[in-house]
Amino acid sequence: MSYPADAKYTKEHEWIKINGNLATVGITDYAQNSLGDIVFVELPKPGTTITAGKSFGTVESVKAVSDLYAPVSGTVTEVNSDLGSAPEKVNQDANNTWMIKLTLSNAGEANGLLSAADYEKFIAEEQA
């Protein structure tokens, strides 16, 4: 599996794409594959402030319920409402199915995230 180089990654398996002070967040293909069939996604409402490293929602699969962790801090500006009726979109194309969009409160937080190559190395070590 390849991971888009224009995104940064967390060790909790979220991806983030940053454009100026705006960011788009989703979960990685590795995460969706580990979870199995996703049946429900719980996301915050627009206007919610999220904090880096803290849970901002959940993903429920036939196997388990997993927390979603914020890669950076900011204010949610939009949620992917399509996931309310079609959570399986995450399974179909996790690398391009976003969950939330936000305005960053501290762009410097992204400096601590993993590059695509570092994330792939992390996954390889986790699977070993």
Q: Where are the domains of the chain?
A: 9-106
Q: What six digits make up the tokens of 44?
A: 């915050």
Neighbours of 90 (CB within 10 A): 24
pLDDT band at 66 (very low <50, low <70, confident <90, very high): very high
Number of neighbouring beta carbons within 10 Å of residue 93: 11
Whole-number pLDDT of residue 128: 82
Q: Is the pLDDT of residue 55 over 70?
A: yes
Does position 99 have pLDDT exceeding 90, yes or no? yes
Tokens in use for 6? 């224009």
Using CA atoms, how far apart are residues 26 and 73, in angstroms rounded to an integer?
15
Class of domain 9-106: mainly beta
Put simply, whether the predicted model's pTM sits higher than 0.75 gets the answer yes
* Longest CA span, the chain: 40
Asked whether 97 and 90 are in contact (CB, 8 A), the reply is yes
Rounded distance between C-alpha atoms, residue 9 and residue 53, angstroms: 12
Q: Is the pLDDT of residue 27 over 90?
A: yes
